[in-house]
Chain A
Amino acid sequence: MIGPEALDDLVAALKGRGFRVLGPTVRDGAIVYDDLESAGELPIGWTDRQEPGSYRLDRRDDEARFGYAVGPHSWKQFLFPARISFWQARRVDEGGFEVREPPPEGAPFAFIGVRSCELHGIAIQDRVFLEGRHVDRDYEARRRDAFLVAVNCFEPGGTCFCVSMGTGPKAEAGYDLALTEILDGEHRFLVQVGSERGAEVLRDLPRRDAETLDLQAAGAAVEGAAARMGRSLDTTDLRDLLARNLEHERWDEVASRCLTCGNCTMVCPTCFCTSIEDHTSLAGDEAERVRLWDSCYSVDHSYIHGGSVRPSGRSRYRQWLTHKFGTWHDQFGTSGCIGCGRCITWCPVGIDVTEELAAIRATEEVSDAND
């Protein structure tokens, strides 16, 4: 067990080991992930209120450090930045060129406040970038030494559905340390160790052994969160349900509301589409290749010579939803959704994926349902 003040020691211990410490903080009316100088920058006493198309911060009547769900940011922006430079090249003799790949810069990351759903999100991106035939060199370098301090949820948001996705609210694996914040009685944190590195960091913190009462209180906090999910989703055979409903009329209906703005893909912790751009200097002797986040909602995403394969909003919404919940399984052996609810909260028109999927399930053609 550690007290709230020990979080400062945690930040210091991680900094002392050369990590760049990142965690939640309040900025521009939202809880975002940013560099932490001290634990004092955590969103102390703040919570978030989330509904489809709506997010706002509220004061809590306690000093909770992690009394919110998730903000618009996810850790993907550090492990998989919105823009990276793959390489620069310059012209050399005889019309040739020479390519230089800069090594990924900066200290290894330590993330404080990683939710269980987000651990799953990182694991899903690991599958995409590290566990296929090709390894993404940049992601690998950023991910390799990242130190993850997970936080179990006790205050789920109005758009959360991790229980349905089997991704939370309790962190089960993939962390170095996991905290459970207990507000009942003395404000304290149960710390669980997930790695040798984690155990070593914990030894630097002022702590005491957990007692039965601590464990019970921590358990109750997480169970309470599981019981208060803002949303739920029937995930039975979701992959097959979507595969056999590619022409469902719901796609037309949702397309009439969807702005194809791509917000859902930007806030999604697992969306990984990028576009690759080649640039050149005005003199034409220097070139650069950059990678930028892209979205399947852009018309150009599916451009081939002659035009776009998915010109309609209907087909682009369908691409996103069927990929996230269906074909992701075929491509990477896992769902692409972690149930964090960001896509619902940050959709400007409040499209709710759980509602869309339920509508398809409810109105599936009878002949198909009898299969």
Chain B
Amino acid sequence: MECHLRNTEQGKIRLVNKIKKGWEKVGCWLKRHMELRSIQMMIAVSFTVVSVCIMGFLVLTLYGQFSRRIEDQYVENSAQLLNQTAINLEGHLRNMRWISDAMYYSVIKDKDLAVQSMDDEMNLLYEANKDNLVSIACYTNDGNLTAAAPIATVKADVDVTTHQWFQDAVGQLENFHFSTPHVQNLFDDPSYRYYWVISLSRTVELNHNGETSLGVLLVDMNYSSIERILKKANEDASAEYVYLMDQDGEIIYHPKQDQIYAGISSENNLAALAYEDETFQESFEGEKRLVTVKTVSYTGWKLVSVVPMEVYSMGMESTRYLVIILVILALLATVLLNQLVSARIAKPLKKLNASVEEWEAGNLHPDIYVGGSTEVMHLGNTLRSTVEQIQQLMQDIVVEQEEKRKSELDALQSQINPHFLYNTLDSIVWMITGEKYEEAVFMVTQLASLFRVSLSQGKTIIRIEDEIRHAQNYMNIQKIRYKNVFQADFDIEPEILGYCTVKLILQPLLENAIYYGMEYMDGEGEIRVNGYRKGDDIFLEVQDNGPGIPQEEADRLLTEGNRERKRGSGVGLINVHSRIQLRFGPQYGLQIESCPDEGTTVTIHIPAIPYSEENQRQLEEGKRK
């Protein structure tokens, strides 16, 4: 037992776990397939859910109300039909009673049957109402026929006292008695015809020579008259119908009477017998139906209207289809409209988001979207303004940094190696001491010219001509100092002299050439400075035939990390390279080619920009590159 319980518990836990896993899978699947994080989806789904809920509520409420209305309408119609049928039926039965009354009070009571006959009056009455009558007959209390219309042969061996209508009349003297439909069994008809009748019988007083005895007056109504009235109520082809039963629940008329008699159909008449004159809902043979009962006055018969619930649903079918179509159309419109609206709301936000993503991706100049609703537009404007401000700030910082660097480099450039100045001045002193005045004057002149170009009224951009002159001054001084151990040749195309250059870019190269290339050359050293234009560019080369260096080392000279300061101006090639790039752009600068034991060539590459005040100013301000 315990084992069984444990197994059951484990089974339950396994089932719960399975369900949990199942839900998780569904959740994952939905998450994967229904990405609800996008604003458009959120808006669309929310709107759609709300719309569907409201629509569903409205549809159900309205449909429910409509159904109730229809049901009420059916009940009302049934009641009306029933009332009308009851009126017609009562009218017909009243007529029959009137015939009976007329026969009794106007004929039988006035006649002394011992000497008078009532055949004429009876025939007259019959003829006047023969559409609704089969016969009128009067019997004595012991069942003998007194009179009958139409005149016919009485069936032999027929004892009317055994007939129900006779017994009813004799049993309750005061009343009219309506029988249920039956085949008349009174008269012989050689044409083999038979008649379904409803018998109206009553007790009457028969006068024989002043003596009264009881008898029975029988009016046999043609059943077809009643059938006609009820058929009219059942003319509608729908499943709704009306039937008639007597006070004992026996069916008098039913649209499927023959089928009921043959056992093919059945009716819930015995249950309906217990109903009052109202509408009831009942279930019969698995079918729900509304039953309305109306009692026919005097007879106690009951008219019953039956409306199967199926009739409502059939009547409602087209309405139901219409409602479904309208709901689906509304849903379609809602889905599409929600898509449009959500797209309209979300699209500007998405564009704005895309702008931000572009900005995030590193584009410093994103095209910030401005559009959509006022709020989104405001966001866009604010973001755009923020981006612009940030751009401006960054640009300011860059400019500031650049300026700072330029200033640093320019300041560095403007510093003349104190050793150079000291040595030059020392050389001049020795020249004066050695009374070499002309040479001393030349030296001082060169130095003065060198400083003039160095200063250049504080300009950074000068003519190539001035830069060449500065280089020549420098070389003239150095040649004297180094006692002409090297040759310095300048081969400059005259046309380039009028172009712009950053000042003091040749001197550091010449200084390096002297220090690293010429020092141990013993008069065989040679430094060449070439200047030429090639296309839109200008190239200034400083070649020496010094010991040279390996190319790899030469390549490293222009990288910031290998900036070394040994001797020379203390500025270094890297500074020259940086200054050129800062002024003219990264595509310009220095190129070093060197080969051990063959010499080194350093090439300055700058753009060909004619020197003018405007160009000079723009280049100084960094507005032209």
- Are A and B interaction partners? no
